Copies of this chain bind each other. A is one copy, B any other.
Amino acid sequence: MYSFGEYCIFDGKIKTHKLDLKYPICPIRNILSRFSDKWSLLILAVLYTGKTMRYGEIKKSLPDISQKILTSSLKNLEKYHLIKRKAYAEIPPRVEYSLTETGNSLIPSIQMLITWAENHFEEILRK
């Protein structure tokens, strides 16, 4: 297990997504914080169930996400190499998204989280 004390002496760099050069690397702050927003995990999970999906299919799986946020979330996930984007030069346009190897390697962790959440649903929400 890591020394969180050591890792966690950062000074507010989390927002800018910059790394602190003086200290070693806190995985939570520097990596996990990039995907711990409202939609990223859901998008990854949806992509996993569908293997490769078009923009509209993802949108349909997450009916209450706005176009803007879906687009920007996909860009963010692509930026960090968790998903890949393939655009076809057709009319009307077609764009397909799928998990990268890196993205796929995150799935077991997400599944473990989901399983935990399921198993502890009542405990968490009781009272």
What is the copy number of this chain in the assembly?
Answer: 2
CB distance from A50 to the nearest CB of B (A): 9
Q: Binding site of A, secondary structure by majority: helix, strand, loop or mixed?
A: helix
Please tell me which one of the listed residues B4, B31, B41, B123 contacts residue A45 in the complex, with CB atoms under 8 A apart. B4
A123 to B105, CA, bound (A): 12
Please tell me which one of the listed residues B1, B25, B116, B123 contacts residue A109 in the complex, with CB atoms under 8 A apart. B116
The number of chain A residues with a CB under 8 A from chain B is 57
A62: which B residues are within 8 A, CB to CB? 8
6 tightest A-B CB contacts, nearest first: A27-B117, A31-B117, A36-B36, A27-B114, A109-B112, A80-B124
Q: Can you list 14 A-B pairs, Cβ within 8 angstroms, ordered by A?
A: A4-B42, A5-B49, A5-B61, A8-B42, A8-B61, A28-B41, A30-B117, A31-B121, A34-B124, A81-B123, A106-B116, A109-B116, A112-B112, A113-B113
The reply to whether B124 and A31 form a contact with Cβ atoms under 8 Å apart is yes
Q: Would you list which residues of chain A between 78 and 123 have a CB under 8 Å from chain B? A: 80-82, 102, 105-106, 108-109, 111-114, 116-121, 123
